[in-house]
Amino acid sequence: MTGQTGWIPETVDIGQPSTARMYDYILGGGHNLEADRLLVDKMLAAQPEMRRFAIMNRAFLRRVVLFLIESGIRQFLDLGSGIPTVGNVHEIAQQADPECRVVYVDYEPVAVAHSELVLEGNDRAVILQADITEPDIVLHAPQTRRTLDFREPIGILAITIGHHLSPQRDPVGVFARYRDAVTPGSYLAITHTTDDYATARTLAVRELARKGHIGVYPRNRAEVMALFGDFELVEPGLVTTSQWRPERPEDVAVNPEDDGFYAAVARKP
């Protein structure tokens, strides 16, 4: 199969689902495999709202990037960036200002390989293959240092990545290292799944993810807040994805469980 599909690196286990490729499939992308589609289809059968979760999460990312541009940010560090699809960070940011610079970070080989193709010829956006739980490697990689100026504010994006970090990997410490690395005036944006609004359908999906060897570690409101440290939340604070500065009133979820993720943006004082 890899010989017929050039975007799949030879090292990829095509029988093991990947969160990056599963997200790509939910959003209608074309860079996913049968194992990803089978697991996502089971999850959608158990919880059809999952598709809305992904769409609202993607819409939040767009609003955040534009908000950061309006706030003077011109460089971004996107942690766990996944497979580039339409409306990715560099497209949104560079359309607003061609001088914007982006470092994408992901460990998944397909996400990295496809990112390299998408970013070819773009000297202001790069992909770094690295584990985000190793901040020193990410922060001091040549690609990172060549692209980002840590003397100036940076927008750190951690969209749907925190809940894939187990407690043993010390997510609070990992996020603290990234926060410490950036200058005052920088921002941190997070979306994170939670059991605060969990339903029986949510728990069924979690069990499917576990059986598919996809680690998901939901956190409550206080635990998500801890990831922001002493950064100051911008209005409207920690809410769900569609409730964060919506563009249209009809997009806002009536019930928090219809979004599935906490979302917030905070500024380093």
Instruction: Enumerate the domain spans of the chain.
Output: 19-267
Which pLDDT score, from 0 to 100, does residue 131 have? 97
Low-confidence ranges of the chain (pLDDT < 50): 1-4
pLDDT of res. 2: 35
pLDDT at 6 (0 to 100): 52
Model confidence over 241-259: pLDDT tens digits? Answer: 999 999 988 889 888 888 8
The pair phi, psi for residue 193, each rounded to 5°, is: -75, 155
Q: Give the single-character DSSP code of 251.
A: G
Q: Report the Cα 164 to chain-centroid distance in Å.
A: 10
pLDDT given for residue 48 in this prediction: 87
Task: For residue range 204-247, list pLDDT tens digits in order.
Answer: 888 888 888 788 899 999 999 999 999 999 999 999 999 999 99
CATH of 19-267, one of 3.40.50.150, 3.40.50.720, 1.10.3720.10, 3.40.50.620: 3.40.50.150
> Considering all CA atoms of the chain, what is the largest pairwise distance in Å, rounded to the nearest integer?
51
pTM metric for this prediction = 0.89
pLDDT at 209: 83
The two structure tokens encoding residue 198: 């969990």
Looking at residue 11, its pLDDT comes to 66
CA-nearest of 78, 63, 117 to 236 is 63
Distances (CA, A) of 143 to 38, 134, 139: 35, 15, 9
